[in-house]
A = this chain, B = another copy of it.
Amino acid sequence: MNIFKFIGMTLVTSTLVIANTNLDKKIKDAGLKAIPANKTELMKLIDPKNTISDEKVALGKQLYFEPRLSKSGIISCNTCHNLGLGGVDGVPAAVGHKWTANPHHLNSPTVYNAVFFAAQFWDGRSPDLEDQAQGPMQASPEMAAPQSLVVERVNSIPAYIESFKKAYGKDVKVDFKTITATIGIFERTLVTPSRYDAFLNGDKKALTDAEKEGLNLFIDKGCTACHTGIALGGTMQPFPAVGKYKYANIGDFKGDKNGMVKTPTLRNITETAPYFHNGAIWSLKEAVQEMGRTQLGADISDADAAKIVTFFGALKGKKPEITYPQFPASTEKTPKPDFK
Protein backbone atom coordinates (compact mmCIF):
# COMPACT_ATOMS: atom_id res chain seq x y z
CA MET A 1 0.00 0.00 0.00
CA ASN A 2 1.13 3.48 -0.85
CA ILE A 3 2.41 4.99 2.40
CA PHE A 4 0.64 8.31 1.84
CA LYS A 5 -2.66 6.54 1.19
CA PHE A 6 -2.11 4.56 4.38
CA ILE A 7 -1.47 7.71 6.45
CA GLY A 8 -4.52 9.33 4.88
CA MET A 9 -6.72 6.39 5.82
CA THR A 10 -5.39 6.40 9.36
CA LEU A 11 -6.21 10.08 9.69
CA VAL A 12 -9.76 9.56 8.39
CA THR A 13 -10.27 6.65 10.79
CA SER A 14 -9.01 8.69 13.76
CA THR A 15 -11.33 11.57 12.92
CA LEU A 16 -14.29 9.20 12.79
CA VAL A 17 -13.41 7.70 16.17
CA ILE A 18 -13.32 11.19 17.70
CA ALA A 19 -16.55 12.16 15.95
CA ASN A 20 -18.24 9.02 17.26
CA THR A 21 -17.10 9.68 20.82
CA ASN A 22 -18.65 13.11 20.55
CA LEU A 23 -21.74 11.62 18.97
CA ASP A 24 -22.88 9.86 22.15
CA LYS A 25 -22.99 13.14 24.06
CA LYS A 26 -24.53 14.98 21.10
CA ILE A 27 -27.31 12.39 20.79
CA LYS A 28 -28.07 12.70 24.49
CA ASP A 29 -28.12 16.50 24.35
CA ALA A 30 -30.34 16.44 21.28
CA GLY A 31 -32.93 14.36 23.14
CA LEU A 32 -32.76 11.50 20.65
CA LYS A 33 -34.01 8.21 22.07
CA ALA A 34 -33.98 4.60 20.90
CA ILE A 35 -36.86 2.18 20.77
CA PRO A 36 -35.93 -0.11 23.68
CA ALA A 37 -34.27 -3.32 22.53
CA ASN A 38 -36.03 -5.01 25.46
CA LYS A 39 -39.62 -5.94 24.63
CA THR A 40 -40.86 -5.51 28.22
CA GLU A 41 -39.58 -1.94 28.31
CA LEU A 42 -41.16 -1.27 24.92
CA MET A 43 -44.53 -2.61 26.03
CA LYS A 44 -44.44 -0.38 29.12
CA LEU A 45 -43.92 2.53 26.77
CA ILE A 46 -46.77 1.77 24.39
CA ASP A 47 -49.36 0.08 26.64
CA PRO A 48 -52.48 2.25 26.99
CA LYS A 49 -54.64 2.41 30.14
CA ASN A 50 -56.94 -0.02 28.39
CA THR A 51 -54.49 -2.92 28.52
CA ILE A 52 -53.29 -4.51 25.31
CA SER A 53 -54.14 -8.18 24.80
CA ASP A 54 -53.64 -10.53 21.86
CA GLU A 55 -57.42 -10.72 21.36
CA LYS A 56 -57.78 -6.93 21.16
CA VAL A 57 -54.83 -6.58 18.79
CA ALA A 58 -56.12 -9.33 16.48
CA LEU A 59 -59.60 -7.77 16.41
CA GLY A 60 -58.14 -4.29 15.95
CA LYS A 61 -56.14 -5.58 12.98
CA GLN A 62 -59.28 -7.01 11.38
CA LEU A 63 -61.08 -3.70 11.84
CA TYR A 64 -58.09 -1.73 10.53
CA PHE A 65 -58.35 -3.58 7.19
CA GLU A 66 -62.20 -3.77 7.25
CA PRO A 67 -63.69 -1.82 4.30
CA ARG A 68 -67.25 -2.19 5.60
CA LEU A 69 -66.44 0.41 8.27
CA SER A 70 -66.71 2.99 5.47
CA LYS A 71 -70.02 4.19 4.04
CA SER A 72 -69.23 2.72 0.60
CA GLY A 73 -67.82 -0.52 1.95
CA ILE A 74 -64.61 -0.21 -0.09
CA ILE A 75 -62.37 2.10 2.00
CA SER A 76 -60.49 0.93 5.10
CA CYS A 77 -57.96 2.55 7.43
CA ASN A 78 -55.35 0.73 5.36
CA THR A 79 -56.43 2.56 2.17
CA CYS A 80 -54.74 5.79 3.32
CA HIS A 81 -52.41 4.31 5.94
CA ASN A 82 -51.17 1.36 3.87
CA LEU A 83 -49.04 -0.91 6.06
CA GLY A 84 -47.07 -2.00 3.00
CA LEU A 85 -46.24 1.57 1.95
CA GLY A 86 -44.61 2.86 5.13
CA GLY A 87 -48.03 3.43 6.69
CA VAL A 88 -49.13 6.06 4.14
CA ASP A 89 -50.84 6.27 0.73
CA GLY A 90 -48.02 7.90 -1.20
CA VAL A 91 -50.21 10.66 -2.64
CA PRO A 92 -50.09 14.40 -1.83
CA ALA A 93 -53.59 14.68 -0.31
CA ALA A 94 -55.68 11.72 0.80
CA VAL A 95 -58.52 10.76 -1.55
CA GLY A 96 -61.58 9.09 -0.03
CA HIS A 97 -65.36 8.74 -0.36
CA LYS A 98 -66.69 9.87 -3.77
CA TRP A 99 -63.08 10.42 -4.92
CA THR A 100 -62.86 13.55 -2.77
CA ALA A 101 -59.42 14.91 -1.96
CA ASN A 102 -58.81 16.14 1.58
CA PRO A 103 -60.30 19.67 1.49
CA HIS A 104 -57.37 21.07 3.49
CA HIS A 105 -54.90 19.34 1.13
CA LEU A 106 -53.55 17.38 4.08
CA ASN A 107 -51.17 14.51 3.49
CA SER A 108 -51.91 11.21 5.30
CA PRO A 109 -49.32 10.87 8.08
CA THR A 110 -47.82 7.46 8.80
CA VAL A 111 -49.47 5.18 11.33
CA TYR A 112 -46.13 3.50 12.08
CA ASN A 113 -44.73 4.73 15.40
CA ALA A 114 -47.66 7.16 15.74
CA VAL A 115 -48.07 5.69 19.24
CA PHE A 116 -45.10 7.83 20.28
CA PHE A 117 -46.70 11.15 19.28
CA ALA A 118 -47.75 13.54 22.04
CA ALA A 119 -50.91 14.26 20.05
CA GLN A 120 -52.56 12.99 16.85
CA PHE A 121 -53.53 14.78 13.58
CA TRP A 122 -51.48 17.56 11.98
CA ASP A 123 -53.04 20.10 14.34
CA GLY A 124 -52.76 17.80 17.38
CA ARG A 125 -56.47 17.99 18.15
CA SER A 126 -56.63 14.37 19.30
CA PRO A 127 -54.84 13.05 22.41
CA ASP A 128 -54.25 9.44 21.33
CA LEU A 129 -54.74 6.76 18.70
CA GLU A 130 -58.00 5.47 20.19
CA ASP A 131 -59.49 8.95 19.87
CA GLN A 132 -57.89 9.63 16.48
CA ALA A 133 -59.47 6.56 14.88
CA GLN A 134 -62.90 8.16 15.31
CA GLY A 135 -62.03 10.98 12.91
CA PRO A 136 -61.33 9.58 9.43
CA MET A 137 -64.07 6.98 9.78
CA GLN A 138 -66.70 9.74 10.00
CA ALA A 139 -65.08 12.48 7.88
CA SER A 140 -67.10 12.96 4.69
CA PRO A 141 -64.09 13.07 2.31
CA GLU A 142 -62.55 9.96 3.94
CA MET A 143 -64.59 6.93 5.07
CA ALA A 144 -67.79 9.00 5.44
CA ALA A 145 -69.55 6.58 7.79
CA PRO A 146 -71.90 7.94 10.45
CA GLN A 147 -71.28 6.38 13.89
CA SER A 148 -74.67 4.65 13.77
CA LEU A 149 -73.81 2.97 10.45
CA VAL A 150 -70.49 1.64 11.78
CA VAL A 151 -72.18 0.32 14.91
CA GLU A 152 -75.01 -1.27 12.94
CA ARG A 153 -72.68 -2.93 10.42
CA VAL A 154 -70.46 -4.46 13.13
CA ASN A 155 -73.38 -5.55 15.31
CA SER A 156 -75.08 -7.24 12.36
CA ILE A 157 -72.21 -9.71 12.08
CA PRO A 158 -72.31 -12.33 14.88
CA ALA A 159 -68.65 -13.33 14.46
CA TYR A 160 -67.58 -9.76 15.29
CA ILE A 161 -69.72 -9.71 18.44
CA GLU A 162 -68.06 -12.97 19.50
CA SER A 163 -64.62 -11.43 18.96
CA PHE A 164 -65.53 -8.35 21.03
CA LYS A 165 -66.77 -10.62 23.83
CA LYS A 166 -63.52 -12.58 23.76
CA ALA A 167 -61.53 -9.35 23.88
CA TYR A 168 -63.54 -7.38 26.47
CA GLY A 169 -65.78 -9.87 28.30
CA LYS A 170 -69.34 -10.99 27.64
CA ASP A 171 -70.98 -7.76 28.76
CA VAL A 172 -69.13 -5.59 26.23
CA LYS A 173 -71.17 -2.93 24.46
CA VAL A 174 -70.00 -2.86 20.85
CA ASP A 175 -70.40 0.87 20.40
CA PHE A 176 -68.51 3.34 18.22
CA LYS A 177 -66.00 4.17 20.94
CA THR A 178 -65.12 0.52 21.58
CA ILE A 179 -64.81 -0.23 17.86
CA THR A 180 -62.46 2.69 17.20
CA ALA A 181 -60.51 2.17 20.44
CA THR A 182 -59.80 -1.41 19.37
CA ILE A 183 -58.29 -0.11 16.14
CA GLY A 184 -56.15 2.27 18.21
CA ILE A 185 -54.90 -0.63 20.32
CA PHE A 186 -53.77 -2.47 17.19
CA GLU A 187 -52.05 0.69 15.95
CA ARG A 188 -50.06 0.89 19.20
CA THR A 189 -48.25 -2.26 18.11
CA LEU A 190 -47.08 -0.70 14.83
CA VAL A 191 -43.59 0.12 16.04
CA THR A 192 -40.59 -0.29 13.75
CA PRO A 193 -37.17 -0.79 15.38
CA SER A 194 -34.35 0.21 13.03
CA ARG A 195 -30.57 0.12 12.73
CA TYR A 196 -30.56 3.57 14.31
CA ASP A 197 -32.10 2.05 17.46
CA ALA A 198 -29.57 -0.78 17.48
CA PHE A 199 -26.89 1.92 17.33
CA LEU A 200 -28.38 3.90 20.22
CA ASN A 201 -28.85 0.67 22.16
CA GLY A 202 -25.09 0.09 21.98
CA ASP A 203 -24.29 -1.66 18.69
CA LYS A 204 -21.76 0.84 17.37
CA LYS A 205 -21.46 -1.03 14.05
CA ALA A 206 -25.17 -0.77 13.29
CA LEU A 207 -24.64 2.48 11.38
CA THR A 208 -22.18 2.91 8.52
CA ASP A 209 -19.61 5.69 8.75
CA ALA A 210 -21.58 7.67 6.17
CA GLU A 211 -24.73 7.33 8.26
CA LYS A 212 -22.87 8.45 11.39
CA GLU A 213 -21.62 11.46 9.46
CA GLY A 214 -25.21 12.21 8.43
CA LEU A 215 -26.40 11.86 12.02
CA ASN A 216 -23.67 14.26 13.14
CA LEU A 217 -24.81 16.81 10.56
CA PHE A 218 -28.47 16.24 11.46
CA ILE A 219 -27.67 17.25 15.04
CA ASP A 220 -25.23 20.04 14.15
CA LYS A 221 -27.64 21.75 11.75
CA GLY A 222 -30.25 21.92 14.51
CA CYS A 223 -32.82 19.53 13.00
CA THR A 224 -33.20 17.93 16.43
CA ALA A 225 -34.79 21.12 17.80
CA CYS A 226 -38.06 19.61 16.54
CA HIS A 227 -37.15 16.13 15.26
CA THR A 228 -36.32 14.83 18.71
CA GLY A 229 -37.39 12.08 21.09
CA ILE A 230 -38.12 8.46 20.32
CA ALA A 231 -39.98 9.20 17.07
CA LEU A 232 -37.62 11.98 15.91
CA GLY A 233 -40.64 14.23 15.68
CA GLY A 234 -44.15 14.56 17.06
CA THR A 235 -43.15 14.10 20.67
CA MET A 236 -43.29 17.77 21.77
CA GLN A 237 -46.58 19.29 22.95
CA PRO A 238 -47.45 22.11 22.49
CA PHE A 239 -45.87 22.03 19.04
CA PRO A 240 -42.58 23.92 18.87
CA ALA A 241 -43.00 27.50 17.67
CA VAL A 242 -40.52 26.82 14.89
CA GLY A 243 -43.10 24.36 13.59
CA LYS A 244 -44.92 27.11 11.71
CA TYR A 245 -44.22 25.75 8.29
CA LYS A 246 -44.88 28.43 5.70
CA TYR A 247 -43.67 26.69 2.59
CA ALA A 248 -46.84 26.70 0.58
CA ASN A 249 -50.30 28.13 1.02
CA ILE A 250 -52.14 25.11 -0.22
CA GLY A 251 -55.60 24.62 1.28
CA ASP A 252 -56.95 26.39 4.33
CA PHE A 253 -55.33 24.34 7.09
CA LYS A 254 -54.79 26.54 10.14
CA GLY A 255 -52.62 24.31 12.34
CA ASP A 256 -53.07 24.17 16.11
CA LYS A 257 -54.29 27.07 18.27
CA ASN A 258 -50.89 28.73 17.84
CA GLY A 259 -50.96 28.16 14.08
CA MET A 260 -48.37 25.40 14.38
CA VAL A 261 -48.11 22.11 12.52
CA LYS A 262 -47.01 18.87 14.19
CA THR A 263 -43.45 17.85 13.44
CA PRO A 264 -43.72 14.54 11.56
CA THR A 265 -41.66 11.52 12.61
CA LEU A 266 -38.57 10.80 10.54
CA ARG A 267 -38.81 7.06 11.08
CA ASN A 268 -39.31 5.30 7.71
CA ILE A 269 -39.14 8.72 6.07
CA THR A 270 -37.47 7.26 2.95
CA GLU A 271 -40.73 5.37 2.33
CA THR A 272 -43.29 8.13 2.92
CA ALA A 273 -43.00 10.68 0.10
CA PRO A 274 -44.47 13.14 -0.67
CA TYR A 275 -43.46 15.26 2.32
CA PHE A 276 -44.93 17.89 4.66
CA HIS A 277 -48.49 18.31 5.91
CA ASN A 278 -49.52 19.34 2.41
CA GLY A 279 -47.47 16.73 0.54
CA ALA A 280 -45.84 19.52 -1.46
CA ILE A 281 -42.34 18.08 -1.96
CA TRP A 282 -41.44 14.66 -3.37
CA SER A 283 -37.66 14.75 -3.01
CA LEU A 284 -36.33 14.00 0.47
CA LYS A 285 -33.18 15.99 -0.20
CA GLU A 286 -35.21 19.01 -1.26
CA ALA A 287 -37.38 18.58 1.83
CA VAL A 288 -34.28 18.74 4.05
CA GLN A 289 -33.10 21.88 2.28
CA GLU A 290 -36.56 23.47 2.50
CA MET A 291 -36.65 22.83 6.24
CA GLY A 292 -33.19 24.38 6.56
CA ARG A 293 -34.35 27.56 4.84
CA THR A 294 -37.79 27.95 6.45
CA GLN A 295 -37.21 26.60 9.95
CA LEU A 296 -33.53 27.07 10.65
CA GLY A 297 -32.70 30.02 8.46
CA ALA A 298 -29.83 28.01 7.01
CA ASP A 299 -28.85 27.03 3.50
CA ILE A 300 -28.02 23.33 3.64
CA SER A 301 -25.74 22.42 0.73
CA ASP A 302 -26.57 19.65 -1.72
CA ALA A 303 -23.73 17.57 -0.27
CA ASP A 304 -24.84 18.01 3.35
CA ALA A 305 -28.49 17.39 2.55
CA ALA A 306 -27.48 14.17 0.77
CA LYS A 307 -25.52 13.08 3.85
CA ILE A 308 -28.48 13.72 6.13
CA VAL A 309 -30.67 11.69 3.77
CA THR A 310 -28.12 8.88 3.98
CA PHE A 311 -28.62 8.87 7.75
CA PHE A 312 -32.40 8.75 7.23
CA GLY A 313 -31.91 5.39 5.51
CA ALA A 314 -30.96 3.97 8.91
CA LEU A 315 -34.37 5.02 10.26
CA LYS A 316 -36.13 2.53 8.00
CA GLY A 317 -37.51 0.07 10.53
CA LYS A 318 -38.56 -3.55 10.60
CA LYS A 319 -42.32 -3.68 10.14
CA PRO A 320 -44.40 -6.12 12.20
CA GLU A 321 -45.41 -9.14 10.12
CA ILE A 322 -49.14 -8.84 9.44
CA THR A 323 -51.24 -11.79 8.34
CA TYR A 324 -53.97 -10.40 6.11
CA PRO A 325 -57.23 -10.87 8.03
CA GLN A 326 -60.27 -12.89 6.98
CA PHE A 327 -63.44 -10.88 7.56
CA PRO A 328 -66.65 -12.56 8.72
CA ALA A 329 -69.45 -12.50 6.11
CA SER A 330 -72.18 -9.88 6.13
CA THR A 331 -75.67 -11.05 7.07
CA GLU A 332 -79.02 -10.02 5.64
CA LYS A 333 -79.22 -7.46 8.48
CA THR A 334 -75.95 -5.76 7.50
CA PRO A 335 -76.58 -2.24 6.13
CA LYS A 336 -75.76 -2.18 2.43
CA PRO A 337 -72.88 -0.28 0.82
CA ASP A 338 -73.79 3.33 0.05
CA PHE A 339 -71.80 5.18 -2.60
CA LYS A 340 -73.72 8.46 -2.34
Contacts and interface: CB of A to CB of B under 8 A. Distances in A.
Contacts of A319: 326
Contact of A90 (B65, B90, B332, B337): B337
9 shortest interchain CB distances as A-B pairs: A99-B99, A322-B324, A91-B337, A271-B329, A84-B327, A324-B324, A84-B325, A98-B99, A84-B326
Nearest to A65: B84
Interface stretch (A67-75, A175-183, A214-222, A229-237): A67-75
Contacts of A138: none
A321 interface: yes
Interface in A318-340: 319, 321-327, 329-330, 332, 336-337, 339
B85 A327 contact: yes
A323 B326 contact: no
Contacts of A101: 339
Q: Give the interface residue-count category, chain A.
A: 35 or more
B322 A90 contact: no
A68 B84 contact: no
A79 interface: yes
Nearest to A82: B67
A124 interface: no
Contacts of A99: 98-99, 339
Interface in A262-321: 270-271, 273, 282-283, 319, 321
A184 interface: no
B84 A324 contact: yes
A86 interface: yes
A95 interface: yes
A119 to B, nearest CB: 27
A83 interface: yes
B282 A336 contact: yes
Nearest to A321: B323
Nearest to A320: B324
A136 to B, nearest CB: 14
Contact of A95 (B321, B322, B339): B339
A9 to B, nearest CB: 30
A197 B239 CA distance: 60
A282 to B, nearest CB: 7
A128 interface: no
B89 A74 contact: yes
